[in-house]
Amino acid sequence: MTSVVTPLDPRRDQRARSFAHRVAPAWLHARARGIPLAVLGIVAVALAAWWCADWLVHREWSTGADSRVPVVAGAPLLAVVLASAGLGGQDEELERSTAVRWRVRRLGHILGMTLLIGCALVLIGLWEPREYGAFELARNTLGFVGLVAASAPVLGSRLAWVPSFAYAAVVYLAAPKPILTEAAWWTWPLQQWGADLAVLVVVALFVGGTALYVMKGARPARDADE
């Protein structure tokens, strides 16, 4: 009995090689930026935030939805801090010497990071979307991404998280109690979704930070250490 050998389709083989040629560099780039580990960290932050929010609300001395303020402010911050290392490479100067459309890739980094963190936190915030829930988590994600993106060209990707972390700590400790909407321009991480001024500030931070990072990129690590 003779066996029949089916010839390979040259076009299919070419498409497979073309797909592998596009995917392999992207995967190597993602690994070099620590993106797979950052994704795992973001998932862990989202799950921890879900548990903490439920625990805070169901304590005997809980004040209701206001008890979720630490989660609404802290979860986006921690997730953005984890992802911020991917805004720069181990050798930024070497990467910039390659023939790559870096501005497009930087924009992809920011949008991908925002989408990933936003989706993860919004899903765990659906318990109460309008009162310290999904809406506030999405807003704060935009705000902290904007701050980190604006800091990367100045401090480098390794230290880009510092201004955001310091700002969030100062706001949480110094914000007036109860939280006043008149102070939303600087207490936006703690405001409810109905504070329009907080939304405007966050949008400005995100657009401005993204534009600065896309144009300049992260400061090379060697320059940042000087």
Q: Residue 131 falls within a domain, yes or no? A: yes
Show the tokens assigned to 5: 């050998």
What is the overall mean pLDDT for the chain?
A: 83
What is 101-158 written as a DSSP string? -HHHHHHHHHHHHHHHHHHHHHHHTTTSTTSSSHHHHHHHHHHHHHHHHHHHHHH-TT
Q: Residue 189 falls within a domain, yes or no? A: yes
Q: Residue 24 falls within a domain, yes or no? A: no
Q: Residue 159 falls within a domain, yes or no? A: yes
Q: Residue 23 falls within a domain, yes or no? A: no
Highest mean pLDDT among 29-43, 61-75, 200-214: 200-214
Q: What is the pLDDT of residue 2?
A: 53
Residue in the structure block whose two tokens are 């993204």:
210
Q: Residue 112 falls within a domain, yes or no? A: yes
Rounded Cα distance between 62 and 104, Å, is 46
The gap from C-alpha 28 to its chain's centroid, in whole angstroms, comes to 20
Confidence band (pLDDT; 50, 70, 90) for 203?
A: very high
The total number of structural domains that make up the chain: 1
Confidence band (pLDDT; 50, 70, 90) for 19?
A: very low
- Average of per-residue pLDDT across 25-38: 69
Cα–Cα–Cα angle for 85, 88, 94, rounded to 5 degrees = 145
Which region among 58-62, 173-177, 219-223 has the lowest average model confidence (pLDDT)?
219-223
- Average of per-residue pLDDT across 11-27: 54
Cis peptide bond N-terminal to 178, omega within 30: yes
Confidence band (pLDDT; 50, 70, 90) for 9?
A: low
More confident residue, 32 or 24: 32
Answer whether residue 218 shows pLDDT above 80: yes
**Using CA of residue 112, residue 118, residue 124, residue 127, what is the dihedral sign?**
negative
Contact 53, 134 (CB under 8 A): no
More confident residue, 121 or 19: 121
User: Which tens digits make up the pLDDT trace of 66-99?
Assistant: 889 999 999 999 999 999 988 886 655 555 556 5
Q: Residue 28 falls within a domain, yes or no? A: no
What does residue 62 show for φ and ψ, rounded to 5 degrees?
A: -65, 145
More confident residue, 194 or 7: 194
Cα distances from 202 to residues 3, 112, 197, in angstroms, run 67, 18, 9
Rounded Cα distance between 29 and 86, Å, is 10
Q: Residue 38 falls within a domain, yes or no? A: yes
Q: What is the pLDDT of residue 226?
A: 53
Rounded Cα distance between 133 and 193, Å, is 9
Cα–Cα–Cα angle for 159, 162, 168, rounded to 5 degrees = 160
User: Which tens digits make up the pLDDT trace of 138-186?
Assistant: 999 999 999 999 999 999 988 999 999 999 999 999 998 888 788 899 9
Answer whether residue 29 shows pLDDT above 70: no
More confident residue, 202 or 18: 202
The domain in which residue 41 lies consists of 33-87+94-225
Highest mean pLDDT among 1-5, 191-195, 199-203: 199-203
Q: What is the pLDDT of residue 96?
A: 56
Answer whether residue 189 shows pLDDT above 90: yes
Residue in the structure block whose two tokens are 């459309």:
101
Answer whether residue 216 shows pLDDT above 70: yes
